[in-house]
Amino acid sequence: MTVTVFVAGTGTEVGKTYCAAQVLRRLRRRGLRVAARKPTQSFAPGQGPTDAEVLGAASGEHPDVVCPPAHTFEVPMAPPMAAEALGRPAPTLAGLLAAATAPPEVALTLVEGAGGPRSPIAADADNVALAAALRPQRVLLVADAGLGTINAVRLSCEALGEVSPAPPLVVLNRFSPTDGLHARNRDWLARDGLEVHIDVESVASVLADVAES
Ligand SMILES: Nc1ncnc2c1ncn2[C@@H]1O[C@H](COP(=O)(O)OP(=O)(O)OP(=O)(O)O)[C@@H](O)[C@H]1O
Ligand SMILES: [Mg+2]
């Protein structure tokens, strides 16, 4: 049975897709069968690859498998708002759950949300509601490493606290070992009892162990 990991972020643009793609590549190099799912996406057209394209390139899947075209909205707003603006049907929680499904032979599926924990993702769900319905074995919370991250991580962990049996794995994206604030942020969050990572390699290592256990 596939292990499901929900990739949440403290907000938009923190690096959910970037980190997920890096982790997927590392897991594949270890010989694991992986899948990526972005159950719905919205973006400004003409500004680089979509999340589904980035994730699919990393997992070895077609972007339309990663995110169905019916759930893809070319307007940079939360998906149900973008759908409304385009006069198209907004995705529903049931539709997103169907889109998050991967073949049973896959060892690990990374499912990326959209925006932050309380950002709307369907007509009837925010990211926390989607994550809870997915019942993931783990949540990977991607955060920035700099100013404001303690508040953002604490609030996100509070919101996501009940969705998986284990506490979220936190990764401080764009962490610089020579930045004193980054190091202090890591230490303070670790004192909360959180598992804090500062690189994708160690995240991949933990997730490989979860998938193989
Ligand atoms: N550690 C990093 N090093 C270099 N570039 C990065 C890093 N993390 C993120 N980026 C770049 O920053 C931008 C935003 O990252 P990304 O798209 O992963 O954010 P996101 O949280 O998935 O955003 P969204 O909420 O839109 O899904 C992208 O262009 C990405 O390539
Ligand atoms: Mg993304």
Domain boundaries, the chain: 3-212
pLDDT value of residue 135? 97
pLDDT value of residue 126? 98
**Cα Dmax for the chain:** 49
Catalytic site residue from 16, 37, 38, 186: 38
pLDDT value of residue 107? 97
Residues in contact with ligand 1 by the CB-under-6-Å rule are 9, 12-18, 51, 114-115, 173-174
Sign of the four-CA dihedral 63, 65, 70, 72: negative
Average pLDDT per consecutive 10 residues, the chain (213 residues; last block may be shorter): 95 97 98 98 96 98 98 98 98 98 97 98 98 98 98 98 94 98 98 97 97 91
Adjacent-strand bridge partners of 199: none
State the Cα–Cα distance between residues 154 and 29, nearest whole angstrom: 33
Q: Which fold has domain 3-212?
A: Rossmann fold (3.40.50)
Asked about 16 being catalytic, the answer comes back as no
Contacts of 80 (CB under 8 A, 6+ apart): 90, 91, 120, 121, 122, 123
Q: Indicate which atom in ligand 1 lies nearest the CA of residue 21.
A: 18
CA-only gyration radius of the chain, Å: 16
Q: Indicate which atom in ligand 1 lies nearest the CA of residue 113.
A: 27
The answer to pTM > 0.95 is: yes
